[in-house]
C-alpha cells in the first residue's frame, strides 16, 4: 500500500481515488448482535471454522484457534459447521 | 478432546483478503473471493465491476484486498481483464494472473457481450462469476440467473420469476474455451483445486461459483455453507468441469437429496407453487441425465 | 519523407511512429481504414503492439483504459455512434487520469442516418474530461497524434484528435512523415506513473466522498494543459518546423469581421477572406484547434479588433445552438467584450460548405445590425 499519501490535505491526496490503506482499521465487530464462543476443550483443531469464516475473524495462534471479536460479525456459520459443537452462540451484551 | 491436537489447515493458509470488509454477515461472495485468491496467490491483478464485491472491496482510501485492483464499468469485466493481459504481454511482464471477477448480474446480463468477446478471442484471463442469483448489491432485483419461482424485489409475489435460470455454462461451452468449471463455497478445497487447474492453462477459463446470499435469499446467515452444500446434494447446482471442450468431469458427490429440503430453507421460495416446483424438479433431473451423457 | 496519403493513413503512420503498445478497436465508417492499417502494421511486425479485435466500441475504450492503468501506451479510433457508445468509459478514462490517445473521425449521429462530416459527435463529449483537438489537414492529423501522446502523458488526461469524415479522412494530401529518430527525440517512451503493480498493490477507481477534490485536480490540470500544449508545440516546431498553436489566426490582426470555425471550413473561409480583402473588406479567419480545454483568453485576444464576429458551427446542440458559438460567447463575456457574435449553423451531415455560403455569411453579418437567432445555411426552401 502507498505510504506517501494521506487525507490530511488536498496536496497529499493521490491524483485520483487510488486506495492507500487497508480495511484492517474497520472494526466490524461493532455490527454483532450475537457472538460465537469457542470451547477449546471440545475443539479438535480441524480448522473448518477458520476456513468458513467470511471475515477471517478466526485466527490460529499458539496452537489453537481464537475468535477475533474485533471483526466477528456474529453470522454463526462457525457454530453451525463445527463438527464438535465446540462453538455456541450467545447474545451480545452491549 | 486432546488439547494438544495439532492445527490442521484444510486449505492454503495465506490470506489475501483483509478483515474489516463490509460484506453482510454470512456473505457467500466474500467466501468465494477468499478461496479464489488462496488458489491464485499474490501475483494476481483483479478487475471488479459495480457489484457486492465492488462494495466489499471498500471505499477510498481503503482496500480489503492485498492485490492490485481496478474498478471498472459494469459491462466491461471480461474486456478490461483482456486489456490488462495485453498490456502485461507487450511490456514483457510474466507470471501474473489476470482475474476477471463479476457477479451473475455482471456476467449473465450486462456483461455477457464482453464476456462472449473475450471468450471467442480466447484471451488469457480467468473469469470468475460468483453467482448469488440476483442483483444483490442494488437491492435484490432479479437477474437472468435467478431461478424460476424465486421472489426478488422486481419479481414480487404473486409474479415471482417464471423463467428458468439462464444456462451460462452451456453458453460458455459454445465458445470453445479450454476450461470451464462449476464450484461452490460449500466445497472450498474442490473450488481451490479447480482454480489451481485453471491457473496453469492458457486461454479463457470460466468458473461459476455458487455463492448463497443470506440477505437476498432470506435465510439466517449461519446457513450459508449448509445451503451451498444442499444445492449440490440435491442436484440443483451440480459440480463439474469441461476440459478441452469435450471432456466432462463430474463430481463424485451424491446428488439425490430431496429438492424440497433446499427450497424449504429459503424465504425467497416461500411462494414457490407446486407447478413451479414440479418443473424445477424436472429440469434438475434433465440436467443430471444430460451431464451423465456428456461425461460418457 | 513526403507521401500522398489520406488523413486516415496519416493517423495510422503517426500511431506507428508513436509506438503505441495496445490498440483495441472496432470498425466504423469512416475511420475503419485507420485500424485496418494498424492491424496490418501489427501483423507484419512493423508495430510491436497487441491488437485486440474487440466486439464493440464500449469494449474498445474499456480495453484501452485497463491497458493504460497497467502502464501501456494505448490507442483507439472511432466515429459518431461508436464514440457515443463509449461515452460512459470516456468518463472512466479521464477520471482515472489516463494518457489514452484516440482519433475520432467526425460523423453525424443517427437518427436519421448519415455517415458524413459533422462535429456534434465529439462536441457532445466535451464534458468527459478529454482534451480535444480539431484538425484541418492530413499533416496536422499526423502531427497532432504525435503531440497528443506527449501532452497526455504530461498532463495525465486523455486526448481526442478530431478530423472530419470523408472531407479529411478520405482526402489524399501531401504529408511529410518524419524520420523515426526525430519522432523518438520528440516523444520518448511513456514516463513512469502510478499503475497496477504486483509489488505495490492498490485499488484504482474506488468509491469516494473526496470526489470533488479529484475533480478539482482534473480542473487544475486541464487549465495547465493550455500552456503545456504551447510549450510542446514550440518543441515540435524546433524539431519538425511546424506549429499549430491552440488556435490559428489568419488576417485577424486588423480585421473588422472575423469568421470563427473549426476544421476544414476554415480553409474555405481563408479563400473567401482573401477575396473580401480584395474588395476592401477587412475580414479575418480564426480556426479553433484546441476545444478542450477551451482557450478562451487566447481566442479573445485574437478577436479583439473585430467589430463583428461570425461563428460557423458544423455542429448543433438542440435547444441551445451552435456549440462553438456558445463557447466563444462565454469566453468574450469573460473578457468583458461586447462584440456581437453572429451564429451560423452549416455543413451538418456532411453538407458541403462552399465559398458562396461563406460569402453569404459575411454579407448577412455585415448587413444585420443585431445577431438575433442562429442562421442555418443550406436548408431547402
Minimal C-alpha gap between B113 and chain C (Å): 8
By C-alpha distance, the chain C residue nearest A18 is C204
* pLDDT of A6: 96
> 3-class DSSP state for residue C96?
coil
Please list the residues that pair with A37 across neighbouring strands.
A88
User: Which domains, from first to last, does chain C contain?
Assistant: 2-197+207-240 (3.40.50.970), 247-376 (3.40.50.920)
Contact A16 C205 (CB under 8 A): yes
Q: How many CB pairs under 8 A join B and C?
A: 149
> 3-class DSSP state for residue C175?
strand
pLDDT tens column, C144-161: 999 999 999 999 999 999
User: Is B14 within a domain?
Assistant: no
| Chain A contact for B64 (CB, 8 A cutoff) | yes
C-alpha distances in Å from residue B114, one per residue of B102, C100, C135: 12, 21, 33
DSSP H or E segment with residue C163: strand C159-164
Give ∠ CA C371-C372-C374 in degrees, rounded to 5.
Answer: 90
By C-alpha distance, the chain B residue nearest A5 is B61
Domain count, chain A: 1
> 3-class DSSP state for residue C185?
helix
| Chain B contact for C202 (CB, 8 A cutoff) | yes
Question: Which chain A residues are Cβ-neighbours of C211 within 8 angstroms?
Answer: 17
Residue C184 grid coordinates = 523518438
Contact B19 A41 (CB under 8 A): no
DSSP H or E segment with residue C93: helix C87-95
Q: What is the C-alpha to C-alpha distance for residues C191 and C188, in angstroms, rounded to an integer?
A: 8
Contact A21 B63 (CB under 8 A): yes
Contact C70 B57 (CB under 8 A): no
C270, C265, C296: which is closest to C283 by C-alpha?
C270
pLDDT exceeding 90 applies to what percent of chain B?
A: 93
pLDDT tens column, B207-221: 999 999 999 999 999
| Chain C contact for A5 (CB, 8 A cutoff) | no
pLDDT band at residue C177 under the 50/70/90 scheme: very high
Minimal C-alpha gap between C154 and chain A (Å): 13
B113, B115, B109: which is closest to B47 by C-alpha?
B115
Question: Which chain C residues are Cβ-neighbours of B14 within 8 angstroms?
Answer: none
pLDDT tens column, B57-95: 889 999 999 999 999 999 999 999 999 999 999 999 999
Residue C72 grid coordinates = 501501456
Predicted TM-score (pTM) of this structure: 0.97
| Chain A contact for C97 (CB, 8 A cutoff) | yes
Q: How many CB pairs under 8 A join A and C?
A: 42
CATH number of the domain encompassing residue A86: 3.30.70.20
pLDDT tens column, C322-343: 999 999 999 999 888 899 999 9
Instruction: Select from B52, B87, B89 the residue whose CB has the most chain C CBs within 10 Å, as the one to mutate to test that interface.
Output: B87
| Chain B contact for C56 (CB, 8 A cutoff) | yes
Q: What is the C-alpha to C-alpha distance for residues C343 and C261, in angstroms, rounded to an integer?
A: 11
DSSP H or E segment with residue B120: helix B112-120
| Chain C contact for A8 (CB, 8 A cutoff) | no
Give the one of C156, C200, C208 whose C-beta lies nearest to A17's C-beta.
C208
User: Is A58 within a domain?
Assistant: yes
Cβ atoms C91, C128 nearer than 8 A: yes
Cβ atoms C99, C152 nearer than 8 A: yes
A14, B278, A49: which is closest to C218 by C-alpha?
A14
- Measured over the CA atoms of residue C334, residue C340, residue C345 and residue C347, the dihedral's sign is negative
Give the one of A7, A13, A18 whose C-beta lies nearest to C204's C-beta.
A18
DSSP labels, B66-78: SS-EEE--TT-HH
C-alpha distances in Å from residue C120, one per residue of B153, C125, C285, C309, C353: 40, 9, 21, 21, 16
pLDDT tens column, C293-329: 999 999 999 999 999 999 999 999 999 999 999 999 9
User: Which chains sit next to C, with 3 or more Cβ pairs under 8 A?
Assistant: A, B
User: Locate cell 468458513: which residue?
Assistant: A52
pLDDT band at residue C272 under the 50/70/90 scheme: very high
User: Locate cell 484546441: which residue?
Assistant: C290
Count of Cβ atoms closer than 10 Å to residue C241 Cβ: 9
Question: Which chain C residues are Cβ-neighbours of A19 within 8 angstroms?
Answer: 202-203, 206
Chain mean position to CA C274: 26
DSSP labels, B123-187: -S-EEEEEE-SSBTTTTSB--TTSPTT--BTTB-TTS---SPPP-HHHHHHTTT-SEEEEEETT-
Residue C376 grid coordinates = 442555418
| Chain A contact for B30 (CB, 8 A cutoff) | yes
By C-alpha distance, the chain A residue nearest C155 is A15
User: Is A11 within a domain?
Assistant: no
* pLDDT of B2: 53
User: Is B6 within a domain?
Assistant: no
End-to-end CA distance of chain B: 46
User: Is B164 within a domain?
Assistant: yes
CATH number of the domain encompassing residue B229: 3.40.50.970
By C-alpha distance, the chain A residue nearest C193 is A15
* pLDDT of B43: 98
Contact C204 A13 (CB under 8 A): no
* pLDDT of A2: 54
Minimal C-alpha gap between A39 and chain B (Å): 10
Q: What is the C-alpha to C-alpha distance for residues B195 and B208, in angstroms, rounded to an integer?
A: 11
> 3-class DSSP state for residue A42?
coil
Mean pLDDT calculated for residue range B192-205: 98
pLDDT band at residue C241 under the 50/70/90 scheme: very high
pLDDT band at residue B282 under the 50/70/90 scheme: very high
User: Is A32 within a domain?
Assistant: yes
Contact A21 B188 (CB under 8 A): no
Strands (E), chain B: 44-48, 62-63, 69-71, 97-103, 126-131, 179-184, 205-210, 240-243, 247-250
User: Is A9 within a domain?
Assistant: no
User: Is A81 within a domain?
Assistant: yes
User: Is B236 within a domain?
Assistant: yes
Tell me which residue range forms the domain holding A73: 26-91
Minimal C-alpha gap between B70 and chain C (Å): 5
The backbone torsions φ and ψ at residue B44, rounded to the nearest 5 degrees and listed phi first, read -140, 135
Mean pLDDT calculated for residue range A82-90: 97
Contact A41 B1 (CB under 8 A): yes
ipTM rounded to 2 decimals: 0.96
Q: What is the C-alpha to C-alpha distance for residues C117 and C109, in angstroms, rounded to an integer?
A: 10
Chain mean position to CA B231: 13
User: Is B23 within a domain?
Assistant: no
The yes-or-no verdict on residue A1 having pLDDT over 90 is: no
Question: Which chain C residues are Cβ-neighbours of A13 within 8 angstroms?
Answer: 210, 213-214, 217
C-alpha distances in Å from residue B32, one per residue of B27, B41, B228, C301: 9, 14, 11, 61
The yes-or-no verdict on residue B1 having pLDDT over 70 is: no
Give ∠ CA B184-A23-C201 in degrees, rounded to 5.
Answer: 80
User: Is B8 within a domain?
Assistant: no
Question: Which chain B residues are Cβ-neighbours of A57 within 8 angstroms?
Answer: 19
pLDDT band at residue A3 under the 50/70/90 scheme: low
Instruction: Select from A55, A63, A67 the residue whose CB has the most chain B CBs within 10 Å, as the one to mutate to test that interface.
Output: A55
Domain count, chain B: 1
* pLDDT of B296: 87
pLDDT tens column, A11-45: 999 999 999 999 999 999 999 999 999 999 999 99
pLDDT band at residue B6 under the 50/70/90 scheme: confident
User: Is B133 within a domain?
Assistant: yes
* pLDDT of B3: 56
* pLDDT of A94: 78
C324, C351, C370: which is closest to C268 by C-alpha?
C351
Tell me which residue range forms the domain holding B44: 28-295
pLDDT tens column, B127-161: 999 999 999 999 999 999 999 999 999 999 989 99
User: Is B286 within a domain?
Assistant: yes
Count of Cβ atoms closer than 10 Å to residue B120 Cβ: 15
Q: What is the C-alpha to C-alpha distance for residues C101 and C80, in angstroms, rounded to an integer?
A: 17
Please list the residues that pair with B184 across neighbouring strands.
B210
The yes-or-no verdict on residue C58 having pLDDT over 70 is: yes
| Chain C contact for A47 (CB, 8 A cutoff) | no
Contact B68 C67 (CB under 8 A): no
User: Is A21 within a domain?
Assistant: no
Amino acid at each position: 500500500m502507498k505510504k506517501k499519501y494521506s487525507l490530511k490535505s488536498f496536496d497529499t491526496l493521490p491524483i485520483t481515488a487510488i486506495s492507500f490503506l487497508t480495511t484492517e482499521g474497520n472494526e466490524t465487530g461493532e455490527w454483532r448482535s450475537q457472538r460465537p464462543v469457542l470451547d477449546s476443550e471440545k475443539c479438535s483443531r480441524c480448522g473448518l471454522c477458520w476456513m468458513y469464516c467470511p471475515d477471517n475473524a478466526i485466527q490460529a495462534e499458539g496452537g489453537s484457534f481464537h475468535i477475533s471479536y474485533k471483526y466477528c460479525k456474529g453470522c454463526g456459520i462457525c457454530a453451525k459447521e463445527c463438527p464438535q459443537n465446540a462453538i455456541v452462540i450467545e447474545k451480545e451484551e452491549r | 478432546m486432546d488439547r494438544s491436537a495439532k492445527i490442521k489447515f484444510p486449505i492454503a493458509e495465506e490470506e489475501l483478503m483483509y478483515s474489516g470488509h463490509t460484506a453482510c454477515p454470512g456473505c457467500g461472495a466474500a467466501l468465494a473471493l477468499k478461496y479464489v485468491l488462496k488458489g491464485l496467490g499474490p501475483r494476481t491483478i483483479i478487475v471488479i465491476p459495480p457489484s457486492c464485491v465492488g462494495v466489499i472491496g471498500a471505499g477510498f482510501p481503503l482496500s480489503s484486498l492485498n492485490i492490485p485492483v481496478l474498478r471498472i464499468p459494469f459491462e466491461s469485466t471480461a474486456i478490461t481483464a483482456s486489456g490488462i493481459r495485453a498490456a502485461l504481454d507487450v511490456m514483457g511482464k510474466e507470471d501474473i494472473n489476470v482475474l476477471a471477477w463479476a457477479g451473475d448480474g455482471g456476467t449473465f446480463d450486462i456483461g455477457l457481450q464482453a464476456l462472449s468477446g473475450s471468450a471467442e478471442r480466447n484471451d488469457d484471463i480467468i473469469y470468475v462469476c460468483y453467482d448469488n442469483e440476483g442483483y444483490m448489491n442494488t437491492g435484490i432485483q432479479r437477474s437472468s440467473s435467478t431461478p424460476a419461482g424465486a421472489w426478488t424485489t422486481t419479481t414480487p409475489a404473486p409474479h415471482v420469476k417464471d423463467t428458468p435460470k439462464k444456462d451460462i455454462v452451456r453458453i460458455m461451452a459454445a465458445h470453445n474455451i479450454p476450461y470451464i468449471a462449476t464450484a461452490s463455497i460449500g466445497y472450498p478445497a474442490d473450488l481451490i483445486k479447480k482454480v489451481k487447474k485453471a491457473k496453469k492453462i492458457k486461454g479463457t477459463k470460466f468458473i461459476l461459483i455458487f455463492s448463497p446470499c443470506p440477505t437476498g435469499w432470506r435465510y439466517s446467515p449461519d446457513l450459508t455453507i449448509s445451503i451451498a452444500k444442499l444445492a449440490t446434494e440435491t442436484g440443483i447446482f451440480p459440480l463439474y468441469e469441461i476440459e478441452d471442450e469435450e471432456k466432462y468431469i463430474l463430481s463424485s458427490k451424491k446428488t439425490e437429496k430431496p429438492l424440497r429440503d433446499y427450497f424449504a430453507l429459503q424465504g425467497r421460495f416461500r411462494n414457490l407453487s407446486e407447478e413451479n416446483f414440479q418443473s424445477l424438479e424436472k429440469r434438475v433431473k434433465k440436467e443430471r441425465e444430460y451431464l451423465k451423457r456428456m461425461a460418457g | 519523407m513526403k507521401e500522398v496519403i489520406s488523413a486516415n493513413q496519416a493517423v495510422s503512420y503517426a500511431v506507428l511512429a508513436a509506438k503505441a503498445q495496445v490498440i483495441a478497436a472496432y470498425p466504423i465508417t469512416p475511420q475503419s481504414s485507420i485500424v485496418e492499417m494498424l492491424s496490418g502494421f501489427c501483423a507484419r511486425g512493423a508495430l510491436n503492439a497487441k491488437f485486440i479485435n474487440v466486439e464493440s466500441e464500449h469494449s474498445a475504450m474499456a480495453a484501452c483504459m485497463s491497458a493504460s492503468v497497467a502502464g501501456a501506451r494505448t490507442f483507439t479510433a472511432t466515429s459518431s455512434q461508436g464514440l457515443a457508445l463509449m461515452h460512459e468509459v470516456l468518463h472512466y478514462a479521464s477520471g482515472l487520469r489516463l494518457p489514452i490517445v484516440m482519433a475520432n473521425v467526425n460523423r453525424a449521429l443517427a437518427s436519421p442516418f448519415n455517415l458524413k462530416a459533422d462535429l456534434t459527435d465529439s462536441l457532445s463529449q466535451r464534458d468527459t474530461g478529454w482534451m480535444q483537438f480539431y484538425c484541418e489537414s492530413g499533416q496536422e492529423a499526423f502531427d497532432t497524434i504525435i503531440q497528443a501522446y506527449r501532452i497526455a502523458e504530461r498532463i495525465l488526461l486523455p486526448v481526442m484528435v478530431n478530423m472530419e469524415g470523408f472531407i479529411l479522412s478520405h482526402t489524399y494530401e501531401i504529408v511529410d512523415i518524419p524520420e523515426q529518430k526525430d519522432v523518438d527525440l520528440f516523444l520518448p517512451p511513456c514516463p513512469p506513473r502510478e499503475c497496477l503493480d504486483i509489488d505495490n498493490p492498490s485499488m484504482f477507481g474506488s468509491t469516494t466522498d473526496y470526489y470533488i477534490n479529484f475533480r478539482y485536480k482534473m480542473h487544475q490540470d486541464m487549465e495547465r494543459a493550455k500552456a503545456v500544449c504551447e510549450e510542446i508545440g514550440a518543441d515540435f516546431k524546433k524539431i519538425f518546423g511546424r506549429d499549430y498553436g491552440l488556435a490559428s489566426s489568419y488576417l485577424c490582426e486588423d480585421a473588422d469581421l472575423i469568421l470563427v470555425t473549426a476544421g476544414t471550413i476554415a480553409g474555405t473561409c481563408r479563400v473567401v477572406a482573401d477575396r473580401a480583402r480584395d474588395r476592401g473588406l477587412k475580414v479575418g479567419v480564426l480556426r479553433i484547434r484546441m476545444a478542450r480545454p477551451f482557450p478562451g483568453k487566447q481566442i479573445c485576444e485574437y478577436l479583439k479588433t473585430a467589430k463583428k464576429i461570425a461563428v460557423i458551427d458544423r455542429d448543433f446542440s438542440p435547444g441551445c445552438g451552435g456549440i462553438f458559438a456558445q463557447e466563444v460567447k462565454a469566453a468574450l463575456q469573460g473578457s468583458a467584450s461586447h462584440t456581437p457574435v453572429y451564429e451560423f449553423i452549416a455543413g451538418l451531415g456532411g453538407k458541403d460548405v462552399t465559398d458562396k455560403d461563406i460569402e453569404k455569411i459575411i454579407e448577412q453579418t455585415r448587413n444585420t445590425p443585431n445577431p438575433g437567432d442562429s442562421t442555418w445555411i443550406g436548408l431547402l426552401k
